[in-house]
Amino acid sequence: MLIALYIRHIEDDSRQQIDRLVGILNKNGIDTDIVTGSLPDRPYDFLFSIGGDGTLLSSVHLIGSRDIPVLGVNFGHLGFLTTTGRDNLDTLAADLLAQRYTLEPRTLLHVEAHHNADTLATFALNEVSLHRFDDAPLLRTDLFVGDDFVANYAGDGLIVATPTGSTAYSLSCGGPILTPDSGCFVITPIGVHNLTLRPIIVPDTALLRLVTHPSPQQFSLGMDSRRKHLPYGAEIRLSREDFKVRLVRLGNQSFFTAIHQKLGWGV
């Protein structure tokens, strides 16, 4: 078995734990590569994301369409997307070798941003967000689902989240929680000035177009933890990505145990 250990930043307080994890895996006959930049072209069985949710999001962009399951090891704080933490490193190798885990396919958003002749193409696991800058006028965005006009959103911005991202930025703005296998996206307004506009759920087979109204200003396009400045008047097209990412859950863990334990859901 060959595992890539992806670490964005090796801090002094985590170096000892990383060395401990490598020692445990190697002792159980598991080969490891520590990766801090691009991912080598090797036949990895798993990629361990060492850090918090931000590191896991970065790891998904690192592997792209390569079908490598991702297991999050939480060295951060909340770590909602991560599977295990510092206190469970001793049993991690045994769980993998005994196949005491499940793989959860997670839908990705395919993102295309268009302005004049310029096009940006990428993908996102959590969400795509449009947000105005503090000194900019209201961001006015027309939303289309397929050929159907839905509404004009005038406010601070707009979020389109996957089921995975429904527990992140969208949730903090009043959006619903979606189960990972729900097969839909949620569109959540940010600080919208029309109180009749509420989050809306659409099937993930739909093509979404977000057309911003022209203005001599720029707005921020967020794609997970990455951001790009675009001029008002740009158009964002969103659809379901052709490939998925597989997240690893150990033992008897499930999506609902995660929202109970990490979000305090229902407590």
- 143 and 210 inside one domain: yes
- 136 and 231 inside one domain: yes
Q: What is the mean pLDDT of residues 188-210?
A: 95
- 92 and 127 inside one domain: no
Of 266 and 40, the structure prediction assigns the larger pLDDT to 40
Question: Which domain CATH number covers 232?
Answer: 2.60.200.30
- pLDDT tens for residues 74-133? 886 667 888 888 788 888 999 999 999 999 999 999 999 998 878 899 999 999 999 999
The b-or-e profile of 45-66 (16+ CB within 10 A means b, else e) is: ebbbbbbbbebbbbbbbbbeee
Give the span between the Cα atoms of 87 and 89, in whole angstroms.
6
CB 224 within 8 A of CB 197: no
- 38 and 138 inside one domain: no
Longest Cα–Cα distance of the chain, Å, equals 60
- Structural domain span for residue 198: 109-240
- 40 and 72 inside one domain: yes
- 128 and 208 inside one domain: yes
CB 52 within 8 A of CB 227: no
- 226 and 259 inside one domain: no
Q: Is the pTM of this model over 0.75?
A: yes
Reading the block at residue 13, the tokens are 């307080």
- 101 and 157 inside one domain: no
Question: What are phi and psi for residue 173, nearest 5 degrees?
Answer: -100, 15
Give the span between the Cα atoms of 181 and 106, in whole angstroms.
8
Q: Give the distance from CA 3 to its chain's centroid.
A: 21
- 131 and 233 inside one domain: yes
- 130 and 235 inside one domain: yes
Question: Which domain CATH number covers 57?
Answer: 3.40.50.10330
Q: Which residues are identified as catalytic? A: 53
- 124 and 234 inside one domain: yes
- 116 and 229 inside one domain: yes
**Number of domains into which the chain is organized:** 2
